Amino acid sequence: MEEAKYAPWTEKYRPARVSEIVGQAEIVERLGAYVREKNMPNLLFAGPAGVGKTTAAIALARELYGEGYKESFLELNASDERGIDIVRGKIKDFARSVPIADVPFKIIFLDEADALTPEAQNALRRTMEMYAGVTRFILSCNYSSKIIEPIQSRCAMFRFTQLKSEDIEKMVLHISKAEGIHLPKEAVDALIEVGEGDMRKTINLLQSASLHSKKITEKQIYGLAAKAKPKEISEIIEKAYAGEFSEARKMLEKVMVNYGMSGQDALDQIYSEVVKMNIPDAVKVRLVDRIGEYNFRLSEGADERIQITALLAQISLEGRMKGGD
């Protein structure tokens, strides 16, 4: 019966295994040991978004419990249900029930656990103590500093790192091959640039682009992400620094319209390119300081176009000072 139920699954869509998690070699090794021994402590997964924390938790549960893993695995998103009632209700009810699998414990996975209130975290600490014999907890967060110390001390810490470009490229090419998508090198580079080490964001962009065409272009990727090509932003900054302020302003306005960029999007990309520029560090420091100032102004509700144009003016002034004008 079980074989018939899962027969439609192909190799392309089968669930991930712990050993297949990319970019986290040390974590894969440690989780693999837990699977082999069918025993584990409470775990705390910390790291940036889209690097495999949730995937690792689900893959671990699938390998421990098999396809019926949902009977012994409770997944909750703490950012949706963050108060003390969720700890006293769903979590406590599941934690105290007896496991029915051949593994002697159940798993409760709390995603985005750093969103739990301090009161809820203190209640969770007590629950973790009371039901340690039959339940293990996996907590996932972006910032481990937001998890109270008593909970941290009860968990084995796993720090997930930002994914490398080659890891993302490997996965993107694997998906494109499985889905019959034509993905040239420049489009892959665009996905890596826009994804910023976030595998989930990268795959979502790839999926969105594939809905329009099976032949994906670099322009599509940047358009969907509301980002300009780095080269275009770099040219705008170089024009402004060379004293061609009016031309730089026209180019920036055109880019913002073409890609549907907000002022904050443009500011973020200008910052990324300024720090890469081949200019004296003293000039770079002043420009980054000004970018920070304009970022604050935008967050306070200032007009986007005026502030971005003013930043270009500051870049032009720095260029003129270099020339001695």
Check residue 80 and give its pLDDT.
61
Check residue 213 and give its pLDDT.
83
Q: How many CA atoms lie within 13 A of 279 on its CB side?
A: 23
Burial of 131-164, coded b for 16+ CB within 10 Å and e otherwise, reads beeebbbbbbbbebeebeeebeebbeebebeebe
Domain segments of the chain: what residues? 2-159, 165-224, 230-323
Same fold, 165-224 and 230-323: no
Cα–Cα distance for residue pair 83/80, rounded to 1 Å? 9
Regions of the chain where pLDDT drops below 50? 1-13, 324-325
Kind of pairing between the strands at 42-46 and 155-159: parallel
Domain 165-224, second-level architecture = Orthogonal Bundle (1.10)
Supply the pTM of this predicted model: 0.76
Check residue 261 and give its pLDDT.
87
CA 271 centroid distance within chain: 20
Cross-sheet strand order for the sheet of 42-46: 73-77, 106-111, 135-141, 42-46, 155-159
Check residue 224 and give its pLDDT.
87
Angle in degrees, 0-180, between the axes of helices 281-299 and 304-323, rounded to the nearest 10: 170
* 2-159 carries CATH number 3.30.450.70: no
Per residue in 126-169, pLDDT (tens digit) is: 888 888 888 999 999 998 899 999 999 999 999 998 888 898 99
Check residue 41 and give its pLDDT.
93
Contact assessment for residue 63 and residue 176, using Cβ atoms and an 8 Å cutoff: no
Check residue 238 and give its pLDDT.
93
Which CATH fold would you assign to the domain 230-323?
Answer: Zinc Finger, Delta Prime; domain 3 (1.20.272)
Beta bridge partners of 159: 46
Q: Please name which of 89, 88, 54 lies closest in space to residue 73, comparing C-alpha atoms.
A: 54
Cα–Cα distance for residue pair 11/272, rounded to 1 Å? 39
C-beta neighbour count of 110 within 10 angstroms:
26
